[in-house]
Amino acid sequence: MKKVVIGMSGGVDSSVAAILLQKQGYEVIGLFMRNWDTSVNGDYLGNPDLDNDICPQEQDYNDALKVCEKLNIPLHRTDFVKEYWDYVFTYFLEELKKGRTPNPDIMCNKYIKFDMFAKEAKKLGADYIATGHYARIKDGKLLRGIDDNKDQTYFLSQVSKDQLENVLFPIGDMTKSEVRKVAEDYDLITADKKDSTGICFIGERNFKKFLENYLPNIPGDIVNIDTGEILGKHSGLMYYTLGQRRGLNIGGTKDRLFVAKKDLNNNILYVAMGDENKYLLSYEAIIENVNLLDEIPEKCTAKFRYRQPDNDVIVTKLDDGNLLVKYPQGVKSVTPGQACVFYNGEQCLGGGIIKQAK
């Protein structure tokens, strides 16, 4: 009997993935990753909805344990707090300092879930590792999950081909509603559990308050990029991302305002009026840190952020290993630091990090 070590997160997706693996005849072992120490790394704001007001990570572990006990699956626990800090959180802070908008979940997959986790799984004798991602692997190719609203190949775009060998995505052929139905049929504690939202180590905490523990606030002017008029004050460029509309706290105007540009040298946040403003559009981008899962043709589609519709693009390989990606139709708020992920139909071809857009 083949042995599968599955990452048990305490959520409904990994819970149902474990059930499916059991049904397929695998010997299933659960492994819970502790990646963040709330007692050391920043404040934990209590949540009255949690048992005994414990931190969310401990609640997740307790939920994972209850699921594994119900399914008669052993659950091991491993600590990647230092590795997560070194490879994910430090990267996150450095990118913010540069005025970029990082995606730490992508780096967590690359360095933690499909590297450190996989090594730990091998110690447990794993033939395969499995996760609750909405994605599929067929004939060595990474394919989108069939639930378009939940597909997570965007977040897997920096995982290498080698890392994806001997990996199983049991729920990739299911919709979210189907997953919840299985959990309900098994009367699992996670059946109605809310999906985690936001950045994993921040959770439900206030983003601004959390970052204040690590980066200094440097307030500055908010300026209308069309007129040069000072409209208000920002609380620190790191708190804003291109295309952002909410949280600007600018009064006196009925027009919809969007973040259009961040000037680090002068500490100015530029905003544009109207979501069709020319300053929100770009037509080409340089993509660095490219990870190829398959050859990227000259013409394919790409996403510049999660849940964005596919954009037709023209891709040119540059001498320095970066990619020049052109999209003559124009795309709004292509943001340095975010991932550009390439697709050929349902296949994910890989991706890279947006260096600049214009």
Active site residue ranges: 108, 200
Tokens encoding 240: 């804003």
Q: 3-state DSSP call for residue 58?
A: helix
DSSP element (H, E) containing 348:
strand 347-357
- Residues in Cβ contact with 141 at an 8 Å cutoff, skipping those fewer than 6 apart: 293, 294, 347
Nearest CA among 210, 201, 238, 214 for reference residue 88: 201
DSSP 8-state assignment for residue 309: P
* Spatial distance between the Cα atoms of 103 and 289, rounded to a whole number of angstroms: 13
Q: How far is CA 101 from CA 47, 199, 241, in A?
A: 27, 12, 6
Per-position DSSP letters for 178-230, written without gaps between them: HHHHHHHHTT-TTTTPPPP-S-TTTTTS-HHHHHTTTS----EEEEETTT--E
* Spatial distance between the Cα atoms of 323 and 333, rounded to a whole number of angstroms: 19
